[in-house]
Structure 1
Amino acid sequence: MPTTRPERLALTHATVVSRGRVEPDRTVVIDDDRIAAVVPAASGDVVRGARIVDVGGRIVTPGLIDLHVHGAAGYGFDDADRATVTTVLRHLAAAGVTSVQLSLVSAPVDVLAARVAELSGLVDGPPADAARVLGVHLEGPFLAAAQCGAHDPAVLLPPSPRDVDVLLEHADTLRMITLAPELPGAVEATRRLAGAGVVVAAGHSDATAGQLAAAADAGLSHVTHLWSGQSTTRREGPWRIPGLLEGALAAADLTAEVIADGRHLPPELLEIARRCVGDRLVVVSDGTAGTGMPAGYRYRLATVECVVGDGVGMVAGADAFGGSTSTLPRMLAHLHDDLGWPLAEVVAAATSRPASVAGVSGRRGAVVAGMDADLAIFDPGFRPWATVLRGRWLPAPPSGGPL
């Protein structure tokens, strides 16, 4: 059971992974809901009056941040009530994911606006043992039908000024929107949304690199799940026209996501993203209601029926992925243990980098004094051992985590 209130904690013999460094044998001191100090494990005075927890050399990272997740454990954010959303947030917290953007799939604009309003009360307001909500991410409906993936093509449309007006009424909760830059009105919509502080991302798009660049000039700053629902190079006569993918990989300042579940992208593509995007690369789960559920389990992404396959979600009856069925820790294990990426690099991709994209890097994403006391403690293989959330100690369930 979690502690009922924040306390003074000292996590000793910790291997702290933060800000590009791996520092063994550290003590992390937590006072109330803030990190008070990170010191060598032998520093006795600083832990006076604290409840000491020996983590036995385990990895201690900032709490993981998932910018793109649709649900977990049998429930999706599109239609779950507040109590059920909170249940999902508890599952994610137990896995070490302490901050999330609630991602919604394409639906009519008025329906999405109403759903954003319903979810607004959860922004930084869930119970103490549930992951923090950074805001809502709308994946659609301003997407290209030819790149719809698991989105219902019947609800896709270009953004109108009226649509943008409706969404901007909820700008305090709407933190990110994915759109196709080539659609009529998309550049102007980007300018207005980005001007209101909404992160605009390119995705599910047939854009050329030039159209992506035009949207970036208007304020687009992020790219949704590289290679998934994206145009690539095509030929017009002898000429090669780079697509959204090449434009994203060649860009100097756009951040970009990968789904590193070992299913969406083979190792070679993940390595290309790593080399091209570098320290702007973010790992997201794109997790769904199928996360943590057995093979054959059926779930919906709005109107689209999906089924849990071999470690991934599939659109029922189609050759298309229906989101992932993995949490961020499993993806970090794939990158580090299977592909050999450096530990500090994979942790940054799920902590400091998404914190920067979400505009919360001054409070989260690093294990340093003064930051929010949101931490994840992992056994080898990124198996969840415990979470500290809002300064409260949350041991993982006996199974090592529910997801």
Structure 2
Amino acid sequence: MIKIYNGRIITPTGILNNGTLLIEGSRILEVTENNIDVEHAVEINAGGRFISPGFIDMHVHGGGGHDFMDNTVAAFLGIANTHAQYGTTALMPTTLSCEHTDLMETLAVYEKAVPLNTMGAQFIGLHIEGPYFSMEQKGAQDPRYIRHPDPDEYKQILSSSKHIKRWSAAPELPGALEFGKYMAENGVLPAIAHTSALYDDVLKAVEVGYSHVTHFYSCMTGVVRNNGYRSAGVIETTYLLDNLTVEIIADGKHLPPALLQLICKIKGVENTALITDAMRGAGMPEGPSVLGALKNGMEVIIEDNVAKLPDRSAFAGSVATADALVRNMVTLAGLPLFDSVRMMSEVPARILHLSEHKGSIAMGKDADLTIFDDNINIEATMVNGRFVFNKIR
């Protein structure tokens, strides 16, 4: 048994000052006020720091110099270990548009890496991002691999792995509605991404099961004007439809403070998840890097705490870590710490249907915890009752 005491515990209903947590095995046994005597427990003094539910990153490509599409177990474990140092206790490995054979290899490596991941953030399923995207909204996705949905292809991919939990696509493409319906019927979250869709396209997508919008504002339409007539794009339609959830890259680069505030004001904290969308440069020095696999990825440059295309014409991914996202929502968007933490824990857990076990500190839930100071500097990270990063000792 582990007892963590003298902490400010962020619970589902508020912050419990001078709180104590009891952990037995991989689960939270008790959450209580004040210090209590527990025989034979390993005691850890939180020193007045915050004890938060572990951060859940539902969209991440890499970190620590690795990308999931390097397709090695070492890369998977290195990414999990890197992000654990910044408070992430669970993450969703995310692919990029690629050759079919490369994607199949990623699925196979995921299977190998899961049982070996004992000192990093837990893998909670795969997110396939692409290749069914609008070429006009490709962003940093490699145009060589972008194509329309192919039923034979996506059905074969889905049947080959039980770990695919979400798939991002452009719903206006030929065959994309059938694709989304098939995903939803098979327990996979279909998400709207890299899209030229307009209002009617989004309505049709929602009808067949699309319920989430990937990296909101990035690579999607706003108001479109045609011969003087305006049409709502994905952004305005997402604001209008209450049943669409969103994720945002709150790295302070992809979205300015005013948009962070607007999203929270209209969509609400309860419908907005924070994501890093981090590539291999997360946790690494600035300089040249590669987006995607080392063998055939795109050259990028990391500077100003963001990845850019070499000509600096557009961003090419984030190098954010989860602690920075929470910090930015407090300092840039002006949100209370309680709400900022929810967006990095409770909200993604609910979107991914993991709330029964993850996303909040409560009796019986997984002991996924992050301990940080007043400046959200991570001091310890616990995954399923085991410290994978600990500076407190």
Residue equivalent to 1:337: 331
Alignment partner, residue 132 of structure 2: 142
Which of 179, 197, 221 is 1:207 aligned to? 197
Gaps of 5+ in 2: none
Q: Which runs of 5+ in 1 are unaligned?
A: 1-7, 399-403
Alignment of 1:80-91 (within 5 A): 80-91=71-82
2:36 to 27, 31, 43: 43
Work out which of the residue numbers 343, 353, 359 in structure 1 matches 2:347: 353
What is the identity percentage for the equivalent residue pairs of Structure 1 and Structure 2? 30
Deviation of 1:73 after TM superposition, in Å, equals 1.0
CA distance in 1, matches of 2:105, 2:79: 20
| Match 2:384 to one of 368, 372, 390 | 390
Out of 289, 297, 300, the position equivalent to 2:291 is 300
Runs of 4+ in 1 over 6 A off after TM superposition: none
Give the drift of 1:397.
Answer: 5.5
1:313 and 2:313 are equivalent in the alignment: no
Aligned to 2:51: 60
Deviation at 1:395, TM superposition (A): 4.1
Contact 1:93 1:387 in 2 (8 A): yes
SS in 1 for 2:95: strand
Structure 2 counterpart of 1:5? none
**Number of the residue aligned with 2:22:** 29
2:267 alignment partner, SS class: helix
- Alignment match, 1:114: 105
Deviations 1:41-89 (A, max 9, x none): 2333xx3321111101111111110000000011101114102311221
- Give the counterpart letter for 1:325 in structure 2: V
1:163 aligns with 2:169: no
Whole-Å separation in 1 of the counterparts to 2:95 and 2:323: 22
Shift, 1:238, TM fit: 3.4
The aligned amino acid for 1:243 is G
Q: Is the 8 A contact 1:20 1:344 kept in 2?
A: no
TM-score, normalising length: structure 1: 0.93
Deviation at 1:344, TM superposition (A): 1.0
Aligned residue pair count? 388
Deviation at 1:246, TM superposition (A): 1.0
Deviation at 1:104, TM superposition (A): 0.7
> Contact (CA 8 Å) 2:289, 2:302: kept in 1 or not?
yes
| Partner of residue 368, structure 2 | 374
Partner of 1:183: 173
Cα distance between partner residues in 2 of 1:320 and 1:72: 20
Please say if 1:105 is aligned against 2:90. no
Give, as a single letter, the amino acid of the residue that structure 2 aligns with 1:334: N
Distance 2:275 2:174 in 1: 28
Counterpart-to-counterpart distance in 2, 1:397 and 1:370: 26
Opposite residue 86 of structure 2, the aligned amino acid is A
Asked if the contact 2:64–2:284 (Cα under 8 Å) also holds between the matched residues in 1, the reply is: yes
Range 161-170 or range 206-215, more displaced: 161-170
Instruction: Give the drift of 1:122.
Output: 3.3
- The equivalences for 1:206-245 within 5 A come to 206-245=196-235
Deviates more, 1:257-266 or 1:295-304: 295-304
Partners of 1:98 and 1:132 within 8 A in 2: yes
